[in-house]
Amino acid sequence: MSARHIGFIGSGNMAGSIVLGLLGKGWQASRISVADTDFGKVSRLEREHGVNAVSSEQIGGNCDLIVLAVKPQSMMDACAALRPALGSRRPLVMSVAAGVTLARLAELLGDRLPIARCMPNTPALIGCGASGLFANALAGPGHRQSVEELMRAVGICVWCERESDLDIVTALSGSGPAYFFLFMEAMQNAAQKLGLDMGLARQLTCQTALGAARLVDSSELELETLRARVTSPGGTTEAAVRQFEDNGLRRLVETAIAAAAERAGELARASGQAP
C-alpha cells in the first residue's frame, strides 16, 4: 500500500474490523493509529493489537491515509478536531459514514484534499464485506489503489461511476444483510411451525444460505440458470417458488430496495446542508 501510516478517527466495529483485516494481511501495527473520544476503546485496541492510541490532532499531522469511521451525526465534530492539524498537508481521507457527501466532507475539511467515500457492510466484521467506493477529482490512481487495498482487507470492493450510485449500493449491499437475515428468520420459523426443532431449523437454514451463496460465487452461471437447475418440474422446489412468484416476491424486493435507495439519497442530500 502506498500509504506509509494509516489513521482511524473512530474505533467502532467497522474501524476495528479494518484494523484487524490490515493486521491479518501483514500490515505493521506500528503504522496504524487510532483516535476516539472514548479513549478506553482505543487503549484496548492498543493493548490487544499493538496499534497506536493517539489524538485526532496527531492523526491529522502524521498520517498519509485518514479513515473517518464515525457516525454521520458525529462527522462535523470529528472534522472540526482534525482540520486544524492538517495544516498544509494533503493526506488522502476516506469516509465510511453513510450519507455524508464528498461536497459536505470538502466543506468540513477543505477543498484541497483527495477524498473518497466508502459504503461498507457488516460482514466486513468477518472479512466477507462488500463495499462501494467513489472519490473526488483530486484522488489520483495511487489514492484509489490505497483505498482498494484498504477495503480488500475486509472483503471485496467496487468503484461506482457516480456518487449517487452509492445510494444504490447502500440499499443493496449496505442494508442487504438484514434482508437475508429476515428471509432466513422466516425460513427458520416456517420449519419450526411444521414441527422441526428450533436448533436444527437454524442450523439447516444457515448452512443452506451459506451453501447457496458459495455456489453462486464459484459459478459462472446466471442466477436464473442456477435456480432453474434446482427447480424440477412438478417437484417440491417448484411448489415453493410458485408461491413466491404468485405472491409478488420480485415486486416486493424491488420496492423495498428502491425505498432504501431513496432514503439513502435523502440522507445524502440532508448531509450537504449546513447544520
pLDDT one-digit tens code per residue, 28-45: 999 999 999 988 888 998
Q: Please tell me the distance from the alpha carbon of residue 189 to that of residue 148, in angstroms, as a whole number.
A: 39
Spell 212-248 as b/e; 16+ CB within 10 A means b: eeeeeeeeeeeeeeeeeeeeeeeeeeeeebeeeeeee
Average pLDDT over residues 151-166: 95
Q: Do residues 68 and 10 touch, judged by C-beta distance below 8 A? A: yes
Phi-psi domain of 142 (left: phi exceeds 0; alpha: psi -120 through 50; beta: other)? alpha
Say yes or no: 142 and 231 in one domain: no
Taking Cα atoms as reference points, which of 38, 30, 32 lies closest to residue 11? 38
Length, in residues, of the chain: 275
Segment 236-258, tens digit of pLDDT? 999 999 999 999 999 999 999 99
Nearest alpha carbon to residue 68 among 28, 27, 113, 112: 113
Domain extent at residue 71: 6-163
- Using one digit for the tens of pLDDT, what is the confidence trace for 100-134? 999 999 999 998 999 999 999 999 989 999 999 99
Predicted confidence at residue 270, as pLDDT, reads: 79
Asked whether the CA dihedral 209, 211, 212, 216 is positive or negative, the reply is positive
Note the pLDDT of residue 3: 66
Cell of 12: 467502532
Averaged pLDDT for residues 159-165: 96
pLDDT band at 2 (very low <50, low <70, confident <90, very high): low
Is 151 domain-assigned? Answer: yes
In this structure, the answer to whether residues 43 and 153 fall within a common structural domain is yes
- What's the pLDDT tens digit per position in 41-99? 889 989 999 999 999 999 999 999 999 999 998 999 999 999 999 988 999 999 999 88
191 in the same domain as 116: no
Q: Looking at the structure, tell me whether residues 143 and 248 fall in a common domain.
A: no
One domain for residues 105 and 155: yes
Q: Do 150 and 46 fall into the same domain? A: yes
Question: In total, how many domains does the chain have?
Answer: 2
* Residues 158 and 227 both lie in one domain: no
Q: Are residues 184 and 235 in the same domain?
A: yes
What does the alpha-carbon distance between residue 198 and residue 247 come to, in Å, rounded to a whole number?
26
Q: Are residues 155 and 188 in the same domain?
A: no
